[in-house]
Structure 1
């Protein structure tokens, strides 16, 4: 399914990945409507040429009248903090948003949705983790909400005329990223180049995917997968440790700080300390990442440093 010359609605469109997605869709000739409540997003990220609706998607009527001419929905909006102090509220918000979007799509006869899920639906699973790994046992409310959303989408896909592209992301990095380890280290070392505090023991090791590779993979899957429910891991074949990220950021800033660790194998409650997704299913569909995990981290570090200057 080609996205050119179609009208796309992007929820969370003023966020990190959503704003990059909007730019890519516009460049490919799509009409784009972005929806965001700006709790995590930034109005300055909204690209020229996109329409914008400020709305709270937990409200059932938020999309009334806005999907009548939409062809495809990209649902990225979510409460994303894994270590939230309101886990039940986060679960309720995320599942309510997805339910409301599905109801609005049904009312407007929109039958295609791309959903951004997460590697955290797997919990602490053997690596590399394939899409058919079971049982899925998330260890955070965020992961639980994403898994519940996948269930809602699957039920609608298999019982109604709906096509779902369900993407389980590794850690996506790149320009505009905030509230994650790379920008956190950059900010800390700009404030104090002699000392860096690292959450956990620094041995946490995960796969990092550059946002441009992420978008390439998403578009490839949408173009080449046409089942009712299409679930794909998006990631790299390699991983990067938190200690290695600290080294890369320090090298790019030209500093050599002492390191202090808060201790424990997790950076925060609900953190999965080691993650690498299998991308064999994605590879069989004809797509491979252009950057390794380390390369994605280094490129993103340079891009974010440039933004901070």
Structure 2
């Protein structure tokens, strides 16, 4: 069941209503939500909150937590998340879905009731968008993370698992790049927001005694993807099966990880490591070029005689990092082993998205 917190929560602006009547309405909604939350946590069982849980990675994390027998509350404004990503949980008492925005602090505080651990994944999912609307990552990333932490403090929730990114490293001079690399100099607003969010989280741990797991993701790919290079290539081929335009020279090379492996690693680390701040790169230890991704997508499309054309330059867009490679020995030392390497994850994703998008 989806609980709508207010009409305003679906807007990214997070604008609040000002009238006394609206304030009274919000109070009644909050009381109603609390009753629903309490009924969803009968017997004193704790729940885990997944912000952005209707999104690409978030919905996979919900699946993984439910498979572990956890009760999960999803909080999502559905700006990029989709109801169909969670439709297979309809009717399950262990999953609550709350439509709300992290910029609506009252809704966020109410959603914290009965929560043991917060998995904070909600953010702008598209690095390129930040170059067009420059406060996107500030509001949806940094400010939203502050709101999550402050709502946790109000509710007495002490555990947060955060989806950071390899984008915080910028154009690193050391590859594979370890967690200890520095100084980190992100070159995208998205990366800057993730780094600022990491700093807020570690400060919260030091000041208020919270415990954090910070996951610096490689490029995550898989079914339900709504953006990214594989998604873009499939849509381009759908428009014109005779040619595929690739931004840049195709030599951009990055680490890729399947969504299934990503959320499995997140859950594994929360279960297995227990420092006050636990910071890990999440990846597979290998890389794949954009040129090879284009070839794989064309192979899986079934189209013949596709001309792959490159726009030139060493990066696809402003803020794109031409090469990333993450050192993942720290992750592997905990006993985690990915099921797929980069190329396997890319091919698996291409097949899934071709089915979802339709070619």
- Alpha-carbon distance, 1:6 to partner: 4.3
**Whole-angstrom CA distance in 1 between matches of 2:46 and 2:256:** 30
1:207-255 Cα distance to aligned partner (Å, 9 max, x none): 1100111111111111111001100000111111111001101111122
| Secondary structure of the corresponding residue to residue 109 of structure 2 | coil
Q: TM-score, normalised by structure 2?
A: 0.82
Contact 1:82 1:269 in 2 (8 A): no
Larger helix proportion, structure 1 or 2? Answer: 2
Task: Tell me if 1:267 matches 2:316.
Answer: yes
Secondary structure (helix, strand or coil) at the match of 1:68 reads coil
Matched, 1:258 2:307: yes
Secondary structure of 1:203's partner? coil
Question: Which residue of the other structure, out of 10, 13, 18, is the alignment partner of 2:50?
Answer: 10
Residue 237 of structure 1: aligned partner: 285
Change (3 A) 1:163 1:297: same
Report the number of matched residues: 305
Q: Distance in 1 between matches of 2:154 and 2:204?
A: 13
After TM superposition, the structure 1 = structure 2 runs for residues 214-225 of structure 1, keeping only pairs within 5 Å, are 214-225=262-273
Matching residue of 1:205: 253
Aligned to 2:158: 111
Residue 241 (structure 2) aligns with: 193
- CA separation in 2, counterparts of 1:117 and 1:104? 20
Asked whether the 8 Å contact 2:101–2:108 carries over to 1, the reply is no
TM-score (norm 1): 0.95
Distance (Å, rounded) in 2 between the aligned partners of 1:188 and 1:124? 28
CA distance in 2, matches of 1:285, 1:27: 21
Which residue number corresponds to residue 131 of structure 1?
179
| Structure 2 counterpart SS, 1:34 | strand
Displacement after TM superposition at 1:286 (Å): 1.2
Match of 1:20 in 2: 60
Unaligned runs of 5+ in 2: 1-44
Alignment partner, residue 190 of structure 2: 142
C-alpha distance in 1 between matches for 2:224 and 2:149: 29
